[in-house]
């Protein structure tokens, strides 16, 4: 069979959904996510299917010419923001048409990441990346940051990401991975954490970080940080509620309390049951709700933490941040809280440029003080 158990229509940029196209003769062209990449996938019949012009990159958007022979493709790589190419759908030949970012790339220093794979459970492979600081010098010690993506159904990988470049340029190593719950692998991999949020995903993230440390003799074990937004914020709060190995943490637009998430989030009425379990509601199974809430374990947090949140966030309402802040303040822990007015859940991707710049300055200031 030529079938493929992967997310289809997955663009490499936030919010990008590449719709399938019917080609002459009945074939279907779409974009599929696979192991940190997203590329064109051509399905001809039940018996065949193939990648077209696959490379270490993420395709965010595409369109097909009237004859169904060529596709215009927008894609990016670790070292290049999005550019436009034309792809021959029969031969797979690719020709880049634009070089919008060439001059800018000549002016700045960019860092690439080494990919590696970690086996964390029977039959489970987690794709991981390790990025050295820009200007890396052998023999020097550098702080290392673990960054967890949102979703959880999403993926990091072979694409340009401004955040990692900012941190690397500021002198930090970066580790990122696609734990169970991510896209890019089969359905079973994506659904492995349903009913057990903070279980297999936490195991995978920490195993990836341990494996990265083994590869990074240059990483200062006394200057380790963890951060993430949305589900990545959930995992950040969860991690520091279960280990004290990190020197600093940044939990951003996080889900900290599934109890209030059920009724206050714009997707809580359905999202909670999809991930916590079909009966995991306040009225039917409160234990499951509380067991999978990072706030339940906040009493164990000793790691200094910076909380970032937007005041108009309807996906993860700002009360999620306020609850964590209050618990840590009541326990006299090292916690800082920065609120962004007139911004929503998309601050890092679609917020005001001034606020996005402010956010980076806040983060870099905090990392410099703590790491």
d(CA 18, CA 58): 12
Residue 314 is encoded by which pair of tokens?
Answer: 């309807």
Name 173's bridge partners.
144
**Secondary structure E strands in 230-304:** 248-252
Task: Give per-residue burial for 266-303: e unless 16+ CB within 10 Å, then b.
Answer: eebeebbbebbbeebbeeebeebbebbbbbbbbeebeb
d(CA 237, CA 241): 6
Nearest to 79 by CA among 97, 44, 104, 60: 104
Enzyme catalytic residues: 230, 345
d(CA 238, CA 330): 19
The answer to whether 95 touches 70, Cβ cutoff 8 Å, is no
Q: pLDDT averaged over consecutive 10-residue blocks of the chain (371 residues)? A: 78 65 88 95 77 95 93 96 96 97 96 97 96 97 98 96 98 98 97 98 98 98 98 98 98 98 97 98 98 98 98 98 98 98 97 98 98 97
- Cβ contacts of 45 within 8 Å, gap of 6 or more: 2, 26, 27
pTM: 0.96
Q: What are phi and psi of 27, to 5 degrees?
A: -75, 155
**Consecutive H or E run containing 364:** helix 353-370
- Cβ contacts of 114 within 8 Å, gap of 6 or more: 129, 130, 131, 215
Residue 174 is encoded by which pair of tokens?
Answer: 């970066």
Maximal CA-CA distance, the chain: 67
pLDDT of residue 1: 40
Residue 339 is encoded by which pair of tokens?
Answer: 């609120």
């Amino acid at each position: 069979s030529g079938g493929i158990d992967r997310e289809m229509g997955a663009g490499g940029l936030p919010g990008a959904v590449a719709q399938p196209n019917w080609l002459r003769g009945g074939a279907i062209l779409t974009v599929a996510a696979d192991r940190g990449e997203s590329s064109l996938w051509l399905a001809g019949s039940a018996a065949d299917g193939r990648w077209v012009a696959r490379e270490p990159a993420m395709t965010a958007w595409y369109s097909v010419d009237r004859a169904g022979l060529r596709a215009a493709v927008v894609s990016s790589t670790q070292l290049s923001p999005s550019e436009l190419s034309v792809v021959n759908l029969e031969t797979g030949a690719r020709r880049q048409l634009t070089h919008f970012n060439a001059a800018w790339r000549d002016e700045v220093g960019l860092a690439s990441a080494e990919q590696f794979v970690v086996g964390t459970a029977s039959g489970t492979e987690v794709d991981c990346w390790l990025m050295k600081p820009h200007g890396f010098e052998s023999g020097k010690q550098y702080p290392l940051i673990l960054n967890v993506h949102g979703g959880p159904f999403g993926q990091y990988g072979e694409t340009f990401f401004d955040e990692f470049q900012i941190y690397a340029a500021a002198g930090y190593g970066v580790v990122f991975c696609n734990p169970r719950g991510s896209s890019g692998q089969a359905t079973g991999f994506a659904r492995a954490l349903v009913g057990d949020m903070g279980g297999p995903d936490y195991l995978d993230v920490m195993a990836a970080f341990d494996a990265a440390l083994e590869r990074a003799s240059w990483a200062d074990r006394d200057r380790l940080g963890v951060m993430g937004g949305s589900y990545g914020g959930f995992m950040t709060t969860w991690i520091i509620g279960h280990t004290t190995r990190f020197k600093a943490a940044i939990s951003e637009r996080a889900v900290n309390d599934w109890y209030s998430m059920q009724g206050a989030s714009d997707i809580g009425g359905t999202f909670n049951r999809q991930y916590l379990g079909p009966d995991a509601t306040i009225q039917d199974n409160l234990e499951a709700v509380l067991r999978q809430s990072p706030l339940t374990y906040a009493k164990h947090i000793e790691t200094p933490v910076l909380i970032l949140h937007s005041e108009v966030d309807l996906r993860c309402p700002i009360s999620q941040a306020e609850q964590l802040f209050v618990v840590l303040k009541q326990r006299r822990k090292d916690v800082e809280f920065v609120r962004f007015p007139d911004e929503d859940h998309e601050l890092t991707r679609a917020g005001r440029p001034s606020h996005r710049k402010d956010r980076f300055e806040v983060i870099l200031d905090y990392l410099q003080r703590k790491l």
